[in-house]
Amino acid sequence: MTAQDQPVRTSAQPVAAPALASGAPGQPVPPTVPVTPGMPGAPGANNANGSTSRNGGKPSVWSWLRAKFVHSVDAIPLATKIVTCTVVLLIVGTAGISFTLRQLVSNYMLEKTDMQLLRQSQLVLDNIKVLSASSEDNGSNSLLNSYFLQIRDDNDVITSNALVPQLKDGVTSMPLLPPSGSRGGVQLQQPFTTTAHVTTNGTITDRSTLTTAEAPWRVVALPWVDKAAGKTGICYIGLSMSDQLDTTRTLTRYCFTVGLAIVILGALLATLLTQRTLAPLKRIEKTAAKIAAGDLSQRVPPAPENTEVGSLAASLNAMLARIEQSFHEQEETTEKMKRFVSDASHELRTPLAAIHGYAELYKMQRDLPGALERADESIEHIEASSSRMTVLVEDLLSLARLDEGRGIDITQQVPLTSLVADATDDLHALDPERAIRLGSLVFQPAGADGGSSPAGLEFVEGPLPEVTLKGDGSRLRQVVTNIVGNIHRYTPADSPVETSIGVMPASISPESLARMPANETSMRYFIEAVDVSQSMQMGMNYAVIRFSDHGPGVPAESRSKIFERFYTADPSRARLKGGTGLGMAIAQSVVKAHKGFICATGSQGGGLTLTVVLPIAPLEPASSAIPAASHDGKETRKGRTERQHRSK
């Protein structure tokens, strides 16, 4: 008896006869559902985007449900959303991996079973007697009794069940095949799955044996030929799928256990990481609450700026610093404005009160003897008060124009040396007994005297160097005149004064220089910029004017205030020495309009030093400063002239 050679088919698709039990493949046809009004897709129903129906203007149920769902989701805390999304992703991922792995293993084992049936079919047919004897001798303990074999003739009539595996306790399991005399649509050489027909001998059987017996069978129909007897027919060879199902169940159980552990562990880790990651946001929330309560000094705790929370914290801190600075600046501006209005009112009230008083005095004494002489005296006082008020109003008008950027023309060529020399001559005319020294101002590096002295500006007595720059000549003259007027007004007539001019480069832009506050810290910063430019030969050339007196000076904490409007060290605001208190404020406004810098520092040996820094032009490259040379290597006349001019 031999099976005819046929092409081997390894398809894992089950094939079952229509007459077989429930294991036959086939897809059920869903019943037809009638479309009724109001259902999605029916005429007049709400469409998918939540619009209302054609017959009504009210919101649809779908729109209401979607709005409620979105509102509910928005109300969930961020940490809960992150943890929930993580858990859902883990569940979907583990379930997908488990299902895919189960299907791959099941399909692989099914293919192996089909290959075993097709390849060993001839071996089973040739050894029917050996397999039957082994099954009868060893019972269920034999590994050779797992095959089922049924032989039929050419008319599909069952001739014998050659091999029938028996399990423990006399339990027999056979595949459910088409009835005798019918093939039931089974195709040759194509394995199919069918249910098991279990018979028992009436004894009590354990559950595992029944479960094994009830496992479906994998069967293949093959043609056979008995050359000796001259017979042909069909044989059904089958293998139980109990081992395959047991392996699949074990794999599913392990996947479920491991997946559950992964989901629980992932949920715990997601909760911990989310809480730790969002902890800075909680601190930001608390800090924002304190700031909202009025404490602008609070700052968000820093975090690594390569993270989103760290970047947010850095941005918030920068914003808070700017807001606090703006708030303080607004407070200072408001305070200065109040003080300015008060001071201006006081300064204007004094001459107005004098004018009113002398006018009343004249009215009271005009009928008395000597009224004409007294009238002339009153008119003189009224004129003096009017002149003082005129000067005050003009100064206020100048400040207002400078604040608006009007009333100044910085396109003129101004001989700065002449302005300073004229102001010095005016001071000498006002105070003939005062010793005034002129000279140049040079940069002294740190430790130039052989000690540990810091870098600074040094006065070298001699003629004033020639310096010319672009600016407003009349306004710059007003600056040096106001400085000289302060020296004359507030220092003893016999205290010496040093006036000096210098040109030096500094690695700072005029815009940055004009924004610096008028204090000693800014002056030290400018000296450091000069030191950097001296070593790197880059930056901007600046004209530096310095007036140093040796009078009583100004306290260190009040030096930056002398540039405030109507500032006076006398709380009574008595103007015994004249002046309106606006001279230094005007000087600072003019210097800032030229993109310069002015500050007050202490003089060496006591007194006050006023320094004015004005930009000239960008520093030329070092190569352009080399004197021009002739072709034979000697200096030309033009080169010598430029070098001599620079040395002067």
**In one letter, which amino acid is 12?**
A
Across the chain, which distance is largest between two alpha carbons, in Å? 176
Decide if pLDDT at 58 tops 70.
Answer: no
Angle 609-613-616 (CA atoms, 0-180°, nearest 5)? 155
Ordered by where they begin, the domains of the chain are 136-240 (no CATH), 299-407 (1.10.287.130), 408-447+454-618 (3.30.565.10)
Q: Count the helix, strand and coil residues of the chain and give each as a percent rounded to the nearest 5.
A: 50, 15, 35
- Give me the pLDDT at residue 220, please: 92
Distance CA(584)–CA(566), nearest Å, equals 9
The angle, 0 to 180 degrees and rounded to 10, between the axes of the packed helices 308-365 and 371-403 is: 170
pLDDT bucket at 79, cuts 50 / 70 / 90: confident
Confidence (pLDDT) at 327: 85
Q: Could you tell me if 284 and 302 are in contact, meaning their C-beta atoms sit under 8 angstroms apart?
A: no
Q: How far apart are CA 395 and CA 374, in angstroms?
A: 32
Instruction: Compute the distance between CA of residue 363 and CA of residue 385 in angstroms, rounded to an integer.
Output: 18
* Higher per-residue pLDDT: 451 or 315: 315
Q: What are phi and psi of 34, to 5 degrees?
A: -70, 140
* Dist CA 135 CA 147 (whole Å): 10
pLDDT band for position 145 (cuts 50, 70, 90): low
Residue 180, SS3 per DSSP? coil
Buried b (16+ CB within 10 A) or exposed e, 117-150: bbeebbebbebbeebbeebeeeeeebebbebbbb
Phi and psi at residue 549, in whole multiples of 5°? Answer: -110, 170
CA distance 545 to 506: 15
Per-residue pLDDT, 569: 58
Please give the Cα distance from 171 to 203 (Å, whole number). Answer: 9
**Contact present, 493 and 522 (Cβ < 8 Å):** no
Secondary structure (3-state) at 415: strand
DSSP for residue 629: B
Q: Are residues 267 and 90 in contact, defined by beta-carbon separation less than 8 angstroms?
A: yes
Q: How many helices and strands in the chain, by DSSP H and E?
A: 14, 16
Task: Label residue 510 by pLDDT band (50, 70, 90).
Answer: very high
Return the percentage of the chain with pLDDT > 90, whole number. 30
pTM above threshold 0.75: no
Region of poorest pLDDT, from 200-209, 477-486, 629-638: 629-638
Banded model confidence at residue 591, pLDDT cuts 50, 70, 90: very high
Residue 24 pLDDT class (50, 70, 90 cuts): very low
Mean pLDDT computed over 459-474: 92
Using CA atoms, how far apart are residues 256 and 250, in angstroms rounded to an integer? Answer: 10
Q: At 347, is the pLDDT very low, low, confident or very high (cuts 50, 70, 90)?
A: low
Element (H, E) at 105: helix 78-119
- 80-94, 137-151, 334-348, 619-633 — most confident range: 80-94
Sorting pLDDT into bands at 50, 70 and 90, what band is 13? very low
492 Cβ contact partners less than 8 Å away, ≥ 6 residues apart: 551
HSE (CB half, 13 Å, CA atoms) of 116?
14
Mean pLDDT of all residues in 35-51: 44
Looking at residue 50, what DSSP letter applies? -
How far apart (Å, rounded) are the C-alpha atoms in residues 622 and 539?
12
β-pair type (196-199, 158-163) = unpaired
* pLDDT score of 80 more than 70: yes
> Can you give the pLDDT at residue 641?
38
For the chain, what is the mean pLDDT? 78
**Tens digit of each residue's pLDDT (9 = 90 or more) over 599-615:** 999 998 889 999 999 99
Higher pLDDT residue, 121 or 91? 91
- What does the pLDDT look like over 426-460, one tens digit per residue? 999 999 999 999 999 999 888 766 667 788 899 99
Give residue 250's identity as a one-letter amino acid code.
T
| pLDDT on residue 642 | 43
Task: List the single range of 188-202, 371-385, 497-511 with lowest mean pLDDT.
Answer: 371-385
Q: Which residues pair with 254 in a beta bridge?
A: none
pLDDT tens per residue, range 536-549:
878 899 999 999 99
**Taking 50 as the threshold, does the pLDDT of residue 616 lie above it?**
yes
Report d(CA 246, CA 232) in Å as an integer.
37
Per-residue b/e over 248-281, b at no fewer than 16 CB within 10 Å?
Answer: beebbeebeeebeeebeebbeebbeebeeebebb
pLDDT at 317: 87
Q: Which of 255-264, 391-400, 467-476 has the lowest mean pLDDT?
A: 391-400
Nearest-angstrom CA–CA distance, 23 and 186? 14
pLDDT in tens, 150-183: 888 888 898 888 888 888 878 888 999 999 888 8
pLDDT at 18: 35
What's the CA angle centered on 133, arms 132 and 135, to 5 degrees?
65
What mean pLDDT is predicted for residues 218-222? 92
Q: How far is CA 326 from the centre of its chain?
A: 23
396 pLDDT exceeds 60?
Answer: yes
- Which range scores top for mean pLDDT: 62-76, 315-329, 349-363, 463-477? 463-477
pLDDT at 634 over 60: no
Tokens linked to 456:
């600074």
Residue 140: pLDDT band with limits 50, 70, 90: very low
